[in-house]
Each structure stands twice: as structure tokens, then as C-alpha cells.
Amino acid sequence: MGFFSKHKSFQGQNYSKLKKGCMSRGEKFSDPKFPPHDSSLYFSKQPPGVVTWKRPQEIVDKPQLFIEGVSAKDVTQGQLGNCWYVAACATLAGVKELWHRVIPDYKDQEYGDLHPGIFRFRFWRFGEWLEVVVDDLLPTIDGQLIFSHSREKGEFWCALLEKAYAKLHGSYEALEGGNLSDALVDLTSGVSAHLDLSIGGYTDDFEKRKQLFKMMTKEMDEHALMCCAITPHSHEEAEMRTSVGLVKGHAYGITACRKINIGDTGLFSIFKGAQKVRMMRLKNPWGEREWNGAFSDGSPEWSKVSASERQRLGLTFEDDGEFWMTFEDFLENFTDLSICFLINTKVLSFSKTWHETTFFDAWTIGVRGHNSDRAGGCPNHKDTFLRNPQYRFDIKDETDDVIFQLMQKDAREHKQEGLQNLVIGFHIMKVEENRRYRVHRIHESVATSDYIRTRSIFLREQLKEGRYVIIPTSFKPEETGEFLLRMFASRDPDAKELIKEQPKVPWYSCVKKPVMVTTITVKNANNLEKQTAFGGEADSYCIIKCEGESVRTPVDKKTCNPKWNTTAIFYRTKPEQPITIEVWNNNMLMDGFIGQAEVTAPINPSYVQVELPLFGRRKEKSVEKEGRLVIQVYSDDDLTSI
């Protein structure tokens, strides 16, 4: 799944074999899988004129794939409503290593004498890199490219890459109207998040603004890709230009986050004594129609910024769609921000190394109670929710920053059939430390993602040490579809799908069948004994023991009144045997025993909280120790009751 993962040929077309065949025959490649017909352009309307498919040699004398490399300024949108894709391309253009993944062996693909007219590009789709082969027949009207193109007339990487992306989706029209985040993921294999700037309180809260800019700067330094847009309030507002020159319903690439020095300038008083101003550089894929407010091209504010500072920013005043604005103006005007985090790759250097876990699965309808019955809908549907696929994972550090992404197969390629993506999301619960079977009762909720009709859902969450279960779902029960669940954590979370409903003993085994299930929650202890002659407080933890199985709680440090809130589950064959809870002090050389308690936990299918005295062990089993242990107990002879 990493950056150098193997690729798969889209539609079975092998680039090397096709290229070799064309060169041996001395002919140019013409793609039968995406022919130069109107059907490859639109499926619901007619082209805006008489379309002629031309090769670059028929448009200019000396075509080139690249002219002086790749730049965000290259990409210009054509007569197609795919600014979401074009903005993502412009944003990606600044990261050379990533372009080499999307356009492999770019030097070998460059135009030259007797070029066979075949190109290859790679996109990340649903967990794998797909290599898409295209010919270089491009749609034109009156000799001009009608879709995406470069500002340099002789440069064609923009048009060819767009053609490959259109082929991936079935037609050019399928690219009209889309999600910035989806394009960023397709071009990087990263994980993309969406922020609604209109509800974040950023315009009013200085600290929130400060933290958001800090995060954006940090992620951009680590090669995260960003785009933004202004949500129109109605269909009529789409593509409407605001009084400050920005276009509603239109995607802009973010190409830089910087602070500029304004000390000793006339701007010092305007920005309330600040020595530096937070600035954003944006790119309009149209290559024109720029911001006309403060710090726009040629605005008087720039004359008060030193020449050295302008040079450091690489400032130019061209009608090229690229412009600067203050971070405050950015938050005041834009409503949506998409950030694509490039994680778990070996190409770029990052401050944190992530461990990636992936599951390919599906929501399916089957016989009730069978493992094919896996389409229960969101948590609103309490009677069916737990029928969905379930995955348990462990957080092994005291706390960890964990990233989750749920993706479904993109319905865009079936757009002409009227298909839509499902409304999807996921729910995370804290469960017993030794949970190995499917959950049958909703546990403590830790986090729930948004539920949106979109290709992918993102959530970043700080989780404490322990075991969790994540349940990906569609919004309604009985909705079917394939999905990919990705999880990134600092350490291997040992994630596994929960398939079995309960323990099953083979008929030939001499092992007794469990007759009841018990959960023990060790909540806390009060007034534990001091652990040193100097009155030192304990770094205490518990070990819960039942029929040969042990579960350990995390350590609660430096307190005589520790809180653990840790639960263990046991499937018991000998219900008459008591369950033991030992309390220990965590030491550098050898842990010290503090005390233990026992509980029989008979059948009682409701939660009962009890406070237990602590005793010694072995010869001191009847000696009562300092402190009391608070636990919660549940027992039932229905093994699927919890």
C-alpha cells in the first residue's frame, strides 16, 4: 500500500507491449478502449462544437510532454467543470517526487522523432495503483484544445493526464463536478480530510486561527496537498464571481503558507502591531480571475514590503491565476478546505512514521445470523447496526494519534447509469481488553465519523491505551457495496476482523463448552498502601485472572487512588470458580504485590458495581490489606449477550 507499491494495468493494457508493437509496425497507437468518438466525451449532451481529434504534431510543430519541468502555473482548465481535478493537479505540481509516481519514466515518454503516440499514467484507486494507457489523440475545436491544457501551447502533459483520468472514469463528462479530496487521493495514495471553515469558529477565535495556520504550514512542509473552495448557496450562484474576484463553487489550489515580515513598514499599524503577517498563495485553475483584495497582484500593500521579502516569496504580478492573500482574508472568504496527508511513504521524509493497516470488505445481505449478513446500517438503527463488519485493534501506547479512512468504490464511472455513492461512515467503541469475538451489545462510544454521500470518510482521533472495535457502515440497512478501511497508527495495532459470534468447541474435543460469559470492569481503587518508607504513592495496575486467562490494566502512576476503567471478558466453563483481581506496583526492577480480591460473579445479566476488600496471597490470604477495589460485574448464560 506504500508509495512504491506494485501497479496493475487498467483494462489489461500493457504499456510496454503496446508500445513495442507500434514501433515494430511503424505506426502510432490508437486506443480501442477509449476511441476518438463523441461517446468518449459526453454521455448526456452534445459537444460544444464540431470536435476533431488531433495529435499534438497536428497542433504545433514541435510538441513536448514538458517544457522546463512541471509547475502549478502550467495547468489551465478548459470547457469542462472539473476544476476539482485541475486544482489538485496544480497543487501536486510542486512535488517532484509525486509527479514521478503519476507520470512514470517521464523522460522516456517525452516526444521525439517517430514517437509512437502512446503514454502511461498512474492513479491510486481503491487500494492499488492503476496504470492507464492512452493515445495522444486529443479533442479540439477550430484547432484548439477544448479541455485542460498548459499555458505553453507546445506542452501537453496536462491534456494527456486529463485524458487518462477521463478514461479511468469512462468519459470526460464523468469528470464534471467532483470532490477535491478524491482527486488528491487518486494522485497520491494519501489520506484526505475536509474542513468546513464556515463552522469552525476560525474568524472569531484568534487561537483557533493560529493553530490552523500552524497545522497547515507543518503539513505543507511535509508535502501535504491542499485545495479550497467557496460553497454556493444555490445552483444559480455556482461559478458566480464575488466582489473580491473569487468564484463560488470553484476549486483553488493552495501552493504556499508563509509568514512575511512587515516590521518598520506602513503595514505595522494596520495589522495591530504584528511583526509578521500570515499569508496564503492560491492558484485558480482557470489561469485568470484572481483575488482583488489586500495583497492581490499589484496592490499597494506590496509596495510597503521590502524588495528582499518580495524576492524571497518569488512574487510576480501576472494574470496567471496565482495570487496571495492574508490568512484572515482566506478564512473570511473560503468555506471549504481539503488537506491530503501523504503518510506511510518511503519517498519523502516525515516527522512521524506510521504503520498502515488495511481491510478490503463489503456490506452484504445474507441469511440472518450468518457471516454473509453484513449490512446493518448506521448506529441510528440499533436493532441491526451490529450486523455490520467489525474490526478490533489495540492502542499500545499511553495515547496515540490514529488516522482512519473509509472508502467505497467510486460510482463516478457509472455516472451515466445514474448510480450514486452510498452515504457512509464508521463508529468506534472501547471494548474489553481481550475481546476476540463479535460485539453483540453497543459498548462505550469513543468516536463517530461524519456520515456523508462521498467516496471516502476521514477521521483523526487521539485514543488511549486499550482495545477498540471499529464498525464501518452505510447509512441505511440493507445497502450493499464494497469498501476499503485504512488505519494509520504509531505502532502495529494488531487489527483483526471479528468473525466468530462466540467460542465454539469441536465435538471431538475433551475441552468443556463454556456455559456463561462474564465481564469484569476494574474501575478504581481507594486508599492503597504507601509503597516506600518515605510514603511514596504507587504506580499501580491490576491483573484479572479467570480459568487460566489473564488480562492486565494500564498503569496509573503516582497515586493511592488509581483509576483504570479496564474491562475483561471471560467465557467460563467453571462458574463456581472465583475470579481473582491482583493489584501490583510497577517498579523498575521487580513489581511489588499490593493486594488481591476475589469475586464469584454468578449469573446476573445486569451490571452490578461492588466494592471489595484487598487481601494478601498464599500464607497471607486471610490478611486484609489497605485499600478497597471497585469493580463492575456482568454475567449471563447467553454467550452472545454482550
pLDDT, tens digit (0-9, with 9 covering 90-100), for 566-605: 999 999 999 999 999 999 999 888 999 999 999 999 999 8
**Domain edges within the chain:** 7-184, 192-341, 355-498, 516-636
Looking at 1-10, 550-559, 597-606, which range is the least confident one?
A: 1-10
Residue 217: pLDDT above 50? Answer: yes
**Three-state SS at 155:** strand
Residue 270: pLDDT above 60? Answer: no
What CATH architecture applies to the domain 355-498?
A: Sandwich (2.60)
Q: Which three cell numbers mark 56?
A: 499534438
Residue 487: pLDDT above 90? Answer: yes
Residue 391: pLDDT above 90? Answer: yes
Domain 192-341: give its CATH code.
3.90.70.10
Q: What is residue 268's predicted lDDT score, i.e. its pLDDT?
A: 44
pLDDT tens for 624-633 read: 999 999 999 9
CATH top-level class of 516-636: mainly beta
Looking at 41-45, 63-67, 195-199, 425-429, which range is the least confident one?
A: 195-199
- Largest Cα–Cα distance of the chain, in whole Å? 98
Whether the CB-CB separation of 156 and 136 falls below 8 Å is answered with yes
Q: How many CB atoms lie within 10 A of CB 323?
A: 25
Q: Which three cell numbers mark 355?
A: 504503520
Nearest residue to 388 via CA among 436, 442, 433: 442
- Tell me the pLDDT band of 287, cut-offs 50, 70 and 90: low
Nearest residue to 251 via CA among 222, 284, 294: 284
Q: Can you tell me the distance from the alpha carbon of 315 to that of 307, in angstroms, rounded to the nearest whole number?
A: 10
Block residue for cell numbers 482527486: 183
Q: What is residue 298's predicted lDDT score, i.e. its pLDDT?
A: 77
The mean pLDDT of 4-23, rounded to a whole number, is: 90
Residue 273: pLDDT above 50? Answer: no
Residue of higher predicted confidence among 523 and 273: 523
The mean pLDDT of 112-137, rounded to a whole number, is: 95
Q: What is residue 593's predicted lDDT score, i.e. its pLDDT?
A: 94
Q: Can you tell me the distance from the alpha carbon of 183 to that of 161, in angstroms, rounded to the nearest whole number?
A: 12
Q: Can you tell me the distance from the alpha carbon of 557 to that of 355, in angstroms, rounded to the nearest whole number?
A: 28
Residue 321: pLDDT above 80? Answer: no
Nearest residue to 612 via CA among 551, 522, 518: 522
Q: What is residue 349's predicted lDDT score, i.e. its pLDDT?
A: 43
Nearest residue to 301 via CA among 328, 274, 267, 352: 267
pLDDT tens for 147-176 read: 999 888 999 999 999 999 999 999 999 999
Residue 441: pLDDT above 70? Answer: yes
Partner residues linked to 611 by β-bridges? 630
Q: Can you tell me the distance from the alpha carbon of 506 to that of 352, in angstroms, rounded to the nearest whole number?
A: 46
- 366-394 burial, b at 16+ Cβ within 10 Å, e below that, comes to eeeeeeeebbbbbbebeebbbbbbbbbbb
Looking at 148-157, 193-202, 502-511, 568-577, which range is the least confident one?
A: 502-511
Q: What is residue 201's predicted lDDT score, i.e. its pLDDT?
A: 82
- Tell me the pLDDT band of 1, cut-offs 50, 70 and 90: very low
Looking at 21-25, 89-93, 141-145, 450-454, which range is the least confident one?
A: 89-93
Looking at 308-312, 403-407, 428-432, which range is the least confident one?
A: 308-312
Mean pLDDT (the chain, rounded): 89
The mean pLDDT of 457-475, rounded to a whole number, is: 96
Q: What is residue 3's predicted lDDT score, i.e. its pLDDT?
A: 44
Q: Can you tell me the distance from the alpha carbon of 518 to that of 28, in angstroms, rounded to the nearest whole number?
A: 72
Q: If you ran DSSP here, which 8-state letter would residue 415 be given? A: G
The mean pLDDT of 537-550, rounded to a whole number, is: 94
Q: Can you tell me the distance from the alpha carbon of 514 to that of 433, in angstroms, rounded to the nearest whole number?
A: 19
* Catalytically active residues, by annotation: 83, 250, 284
pTM of the model as a whole? 0.86
Q: What is residue 535's predicted lDDT score, i.e. its pLDDT?
A: 61
Q: If you ran DSSP here, which 8-state letter would residue 184 be given? A: H
pLDDT tens for 331-378 read: 999 998 989 988 754 544 445 678 899 999 999 999 887 888 999 999
Dihedral through CA 327, CA 331, CA 333, CA 338, nearest 10?
100
Whether the CB-CB separation of 599 and 520 falls below 8 Å is answered with yes
- Tell me the pLDDT band of 553, cut-offs 50, 70 and 90: very high
The amino acid that residue 219 corresponds to is: E
Q: What percent of the chain has pLDDT over 90?
A: 61
Q: What is residue 38's predicted lDDT score, i.e. its pLDDT?
A: 93
- Tell me the pLDDT band of 458, cut-offs 50, 70 and 90: very high
Whether the CB-CB separation of 93 and 71 falls below 8 Å is answered with yes
Q: Can you tell me the distance from the alpha carbon of 259 to that of 48, in angstroms, rounded to the nearest whole number?
A: 44
Residue 111: pLDDT above 50? Answer: yes
Q: What is residue 97's predicted lDDT score, i.e. its pLDDT?
A: 77
Residue 518: pLDDT above 80? Answer: yes
Q: What is residue 368's predicted lDDT score, i.e. its pLDDT?
A: 83
- Tell me the pLDDT band of 256, cut-offs 50, 70 and 90: confident
pLDDT tens for 222-252 read: 778 888 988 887 767 777 889 999 988 887 8
Q: What is the DSSP string of 15-44?
A: HHHHHHHHHHHT-----TTS-SSGGGT-SS
Q: What is residue 351's predicted lDDT score, i.e. its pLDDT?
A: 55
- Tell me the pLDDT band of 90, cut-offs 50, 70 and 90: confident
The mean pLDDT of 527-546, rounded to a whole number, is: 84
Q: Can you tell me the distance from the alpha carbon of 409 to that of 424, in angstroms, rounded to the nearest whole number?
A: 11
Block residue for cell numbers 452490578: 608
Residue of higher predicted confidence among 559 and 320: 559
